[in-house]
Amino acid sequence: MSRACLLSIGNELLCGQTVDTNAAWLSGRLFEVGVQTISVQLVPDETAEIVEALRQAVRRADFVLVTGGLGPTDDDLTREALAEYLGVELVYHPELGEKIEAFFTSRGMTMPRSNRVQATIPQGAEPIDNPRGTAPGVLYETENTLIALMPGVPGEMKAMFENAVMPRICQRLKGPTVRSVNLRCFGAGESTIAEMLGHRMQRGRNPLVNCTVSEGIITLQIVASGSSSLEAEQVLNTEREELEKILGPLVFGSGEDTLQDVVGRLLRSQHKTLVTAESCTGGLIGKLITDVPGSSDYYICGWITYGNQAKIHQLKVPPEVIERFGAVSEATARAMAEGAAQQSGADCVISITGIAGPGGGTEQKPVGLVYIGIQDEGQCRVHRCHFANAGRASVRLRATQTALNLLRRELTI
Amino acid sequence: MSRACLLSIGNELLCGQTVDTNAAWLSGRLFEVGVQTISVQLVPDETAEIVEALRQAVRRADFVLVTGGLGPTDDDLTREALAEYLGVELVYHPELGEKIEAFFTSRGMTMPRSNRVQATIPQGAEPIDNPRGTAPGVLYETENTLIALMPGVPGEMKAMFENAVMPRICQRLKGPTVRSVNLRCFGAGESTIAEMLGHRMQRGRNPLVNCTVSEGIITLQIVASGSSSLEAEQVLNTEREELEKILGPLVFGSGEDTLQDVVGRLLRSQHKTLVTAESCTGGLIGKLITDVPGSSDYYICGWITYGNQAKIHQLKVPPEVIERFGAVSEATARAMAEGAAQQSGADCVISITGIAGPGGGTEQKPVGLVYIGIQDEGQCRVHRCHFANAGRASVRLRATQTALNLLRRELTI
């Protein structure tokens, strides 16, 4: 497999001002064509640092992709650093100077003198056209390595990479074809899933299975390689089927699917409508459901009945239910769901009442205790959940995801 | 100035699956106490690579902060790599094992055997408590360097850094005293604010003013240094007063304040109650308001009236208003606010109706058009806003923030 090192240049990346998203984007694009990114380094605007980073990167990688530091100001030093690393001069290219000047003219502006420096590139290197900005890129190839300098502005970088750098990379590629797919899972922890998969998660295997967790959702990425795309796809599909068999209903989707995407598709295909009745989640379920474009096809409305009076007045929860069992109880979750169904005529209801914290917990009803009502086809089941008290935001998010997952399971039985 | 190197460990960072935000957050926090981050490196889950990265980092920096690779699975190799780098064994700590087991027990789960490995740390190193998850951190100090291993999950990492790592860093700091404060702004773009501040945003100045934008909120960080903490604080306070004078009502808070924090404090101090009536934001306003612990003191309830029938039935919007002016109109926003006030008896109401996209826009009512009703003391003002069509999520977030900011302005007149 070919290897890449990425360098992201700029002081703003090293003082918390800017999150570098270029490296993740580039490594994703490289991965898709079978190039493995073995290192990403964020480097300050200092020539010596950039030269040293280039030296180490060229030693290790087939492709060295550098973003940032091509601007016109004194702290833009990437061109200079490449020239110093190569031991050559920076050469002024009149045709590049004219292009940069034309860029300003086309916008009715005069080119500041400082931009002239952007038309200088190291001797022996090739300029890359920048259709979106003033800074040309720089390409330098030897037998072993391709070095590309690109602007740090994501839009300019991406256009330049796709137009000029990616084609050159593909020309130089060696090694097998790679295919990958994501399986999205909910309902078990990372370590439980790892135990279920056992040897399948071992490193160095083909196919490879990577596991990442983000906001409670587990993504298993299957990466398969083969000598042809057909072979890689066969390896991929066999592994995918195996994983889906082992994990069963823990797998809720693929690609970038969210729980609300999947619930929405199920509701739409079954011609069912949904309403929500939320207490402790305060609107988060409604928000997630309506994150999905077109959710008005199945989502009618929601109630955020935060106080007891709101539960009584808006959802017709009998006051004696709250008095006898408390606002956080199976009976109240059930009454909320039934009230919401009656008032809206919806097919499905999600109701939630619980203690999100940090205050409000008791020994009998601690922070993290949540009752979730799921109504479908006239039947309401209430689930009692106890989420770890890992902070208010975490309890609310997990309660919401669990509710969406319970409805998904209900709709797929 | 003290120097830090940051290492972010994980294959998912090197194949485009995950953008590393930990390094930017950590470098920002370090910057606030006068520590300069000289390098950030993203390293794959391979022991040899992590060992080599540690070796280079320790050679160059006073602080080496490592995130990721502390999980229970076979590809979590950071503990192992630190032990190999130090030339020591990994030692099992029974008291850590018990804590991890207790974490599972508290969730009503049995600890998978694989999690046992998280209780092993390199000989001579110190464990760091992880109140939010299972993976303990690791701290190793010599005369010249502090090495800290922290989890990759941002919430766990941040809590651990603030509780245990930052205090140790501050004990070791050399150089001038640094003080900093954040001013939180909403209602103007980054470049407008930069123009208003002029020379105050120049680099290398004391005090320094950094500007970062996250989800529409602009944070101005003032960093002042002095030979004593008194001197640094004086420089800081003078600059803060100047900035607040220049920016006026654009500044809504300080520190980590959110718009919903500030609105909540205003409502509480004025003994007012709030309800919400949302259409296109689908519950997001309710969610943000109830993100704040104790919001039940002033937030009564909310309606998510996504469809027209819900607006008519739940909020008593007259059908002829929707027929004549449309669901996205000043008249409907007003009727929603009035209906919500009448049904709840609340002092204040936020109502929102708009076109979040991507579909549903017309020439007269394009995507991004949003009407926001703000009711206070019996008076309802409706504001017509047109947000740039930068995607559904962006339109919804900006509409919500604008609504909260309008209520804040209303309550501070």
pLDDT in tens, B40-65: 999 999 999 999 999 999 999 999 99
Give pLDDT, residue B316.
96
In this structure, are B155 and B8 located in the same domain? yes
pLDDT in tens, B162-202: 999 999 998 898 777 888 899 999 998 877 888 899 888 87
B52–chain A Cβ distance below 8 A for any pair: no
When pLDDT is cut at 50, 70 and 90, the band that residue B396 belongs to is very high
Domain boundary among B254, B274, B292: B254
In this structure, are A297 and A396 located in the same domain? yes
In this structure, are B347 and B405 located in the same domain? yes
Give pLDDT, residue A229.
82
Give pLDDT, residue B351.
98
Quick one: what percent of chain B has pLDDT higher than 70? 100
Cα nearest neighbour of A12 on chain B: B24
3-class SS letters over chain A? CCEEEEEEECHHHHCCCCCCCHHHHHHHHHHHCCCEEEEEEEECCCHHHHHHHHHHHHHHCCEEEEECCCCCCCCCCHHHHHHHHHCCCEEECHHHHHHHHHHHHHCCCCCCHHHHHHHEEECCCEEECCCCCCCCEEEEECCCCEEEEECCCHHHHHHHHHHHHHHHHHHHCCCCEEEEEEEEECCCCHHHHHHHHHHHHCCCCCCEEEEEEECCEEEEEEEEEECCHHHHHHHHHHHHHHHHHHHHHHEEEECCCCHHHHHHHHHHHCCCCEEEEECCCCCHHHHHHHCCCCHHHCEEEEEEECCHHHHHHHHCCCHHHHHHHCCCCHHHHHHHHHHHHHHHCCCEEEEEEECCCCCCCCCCCCCCEEEEEEEECCEEEEEEEECCCCCHHHHHHHHHHHHHHHHHHHHHC
The verdict on a CB contact (< 8 Å) between A386 and B107 is yes
The verdict on a CB contact (< 8 Å) between A301 and B299 is no
* Interface probe with B: pick from A55, A60, A290, A370, most Cβ of B within 10 Å: A290
In this structure, are B125 and B195 located in the same domain? no
Q: What is the mean pLDDT of the segment spanning B102-127?
A: 88
For chain A, 413 residues long, give each residue's pLDDT as a single digit of tens.
789 999 999 988 998 878 899 999 999 889 878 899 999 999 999 999 999 999 999 999 999 999 999 988 778 899 999 999 999 999 999 999 998 888 888 777 788 887 888 999 999 999 999 877 888 999 999 999 999 999 998 888 999 999 999 999 988 987 778 888 999 999 998 889 989 999 998 877 899 888 888 888 999 989 898 888 899 999 999 999 999 999 999 999 999 899 999 999 999 999 999 999 999 999 999 999 999 999 999 999 999 999 999 999 999 999 999 999 999 999 999 999 999 999 999 999 999 999 999 998 999 999 999 999 999 999 999 999 999 888 899 999 999 999 999 999 999 98
Q: What CATH number did the domain enclosing B192 receive?
A: 3.30.70.2860
Min CA distance, B237 vs chain A (Å)?
A: 22
In this structure, are B122 and B187 located in the same domain? no
Q: What CATH number did the domain enclosing A352 receive?
A: 3.90.950.20
Asked whether this complex has an ipTM greater than 0.90, the answer is no
The verdict on a CB contact (< 8 Å) between A301 and B304 is yes
In this structure, are B263 and B393 located in the same domain? yes
Q: Which residues of A203-226 are buried (b: 16+ CB within 10 A; e: fewer)?
A: eeeebbbbbbbeebbbbbbbbbbb
pLDDT in tens, A172-202: 987 778 888 999 999 998 889 989 999 998 8
C-alpha B193/C-alpha B211 separation (Å) is 9
Domain boundary among A234, A254, A274: A254
In this structure, are A367 and A398 located in the same domain? yes
Domain boundary among A254, A278, A299: A254
Q: What CATH number did the domain enclosing A35 receive?
A: 3.40.980.10
In this structure, are B208 and B351 located in the same domain? no
In this structure, are A167 and A75 located in the same domain? yes
Tokens 């018990």 map to which residue? B98
Tally the domains of chain B: 3
Q: What is the pTM of this model?
A: 0.79
* Interface probe with A: pick from B306, B352, B394, most Cβ of A within 10 Å: B306
Q: What is the mean pLDDT of the segment spanning B301-318?
A: 96
When pLDDT is cut at 50, 70 and 90, the band that residue B33 belongs to is confident
In this structure, are A235 and A280 located in the same domain? no
Give pLDDT, residue A196.
94
Nearest residue, CB atoms, B39 vs list A27, A43, A388:
A43
In this structure, are B61 and B143 located in the same domain? yes
The verdict on a CB contact (< 8 Å) between A19 and B19 is yes
Domain that holds residue A242: 177-254
In this structure, are B187 and B309 located in the same domain? no
